[in-house]
Amino acid sequence: MYARLLAMFCLLFVSNFTARADSTIPMGPTLEVYVKGGQGSTPDVLAAMSRELDVLMQTAGFRVVLRGTDDAATSGGAEHLVLVELRGLCVAQFSALAGAPLLTSVPLASSSVAEGKVLPFSSVDCTALNRFLAPVGLNQPQAEQEYLYGRSLARLLAHEFYHVLAQTDDHAPEGIAKARFSIADLLADHLDFETIALQRLHPR
């Protein structure tokens, strides 16, 4: 069943990412990420997401490889695999959605859970993220909006990867693994994994 789901994900994915040689990715356990959706995302959004995700997961002790259907598999196989769905149009639309702020606690991202196990299937609600960021991001130039949106996507994904890799639904008091993000968290210059989250990711 898992293999069939993976095959379906790969067939549906349309790659928007620039292929990167494995030799340029820092050493560490490999986290291979297949992404469904995001076809309407701009190159700037995807580039910002990719850079931030690399940095965050590298500090957590993992190297991220983003894959498209035409990319070769990681040499020797990946230690970890996550399938990601970007739902909706994942571009910065702050102006269009500024009049419809997110008033309820709609999840911006989530991962599937079955029988107490966090499954490697994560998703981001791109429209909800736009509505969440719009009140503050609206006044930024378009290029900055795309950068902030892409970086926010990466932080939401890193949070979900924490749950998948650590196999826990517990959160940390601060940082990427905290229970709830504010707009300030997603737009901050830096947001990192706290020590307790790193310990859960790499238990002795």
C-alpha of 187 from chain center = 15
CATH architecture of 2-201: 3-Layer(aba) Sandwich (3.40)
Q: Above pLDDT 90, what percent of the chain?
A: 57
3 pLDDT higher than 50:
no
Helix (H) or strand (E) segment spanning residue 200 = helix 195-201
Q: What is the mean pLDDT of residues 23-52?
A: 82
The domain locations on the chain are 2-201
Helices and strands, number each (H, E), in the chain: 7, 5
Model pLDDT, residue 186: 94
Q: At CA 202, angle to CA 117 and CA 171, rounded to 5?
A: 55
Give me the residues paired with residue 121 across strands: 83
28 pLDDT higher than 80:
no
Predicted confidence (pLDDT) per residue in 155-170, tens digit: 999 999 999 999 999 9
Residue 20 confidence class, pLDDT cut points 50, 70, 90: very low
Of 192, 204, 196, residue with least CA distance to 168: 196
Predicted confidence (pLDDT) per residue in 78-131, tens digit: 789 999 999 988 988 887 766 676 766 789 999 999 999 999 999 999 989 988
C-alpha to C-alpha distance for 131 and 93, rounded to whole angstroms: 8
**CB 74, CB 28: distance < 8 Å:** no
Residue with tokens 């901050």: 188
**β strands within the chain, DSSP E:** 30-37, 63-67, 80-87, 109-114, 117-125
Model pLDDT, residue 73: 60
**CB 16, CB 75: distance < 8 Å:** no
37 pLDDT higher than 90:
no
Question: What's the start-to-end Cα distance of the chain, in Å?
Answer: 32
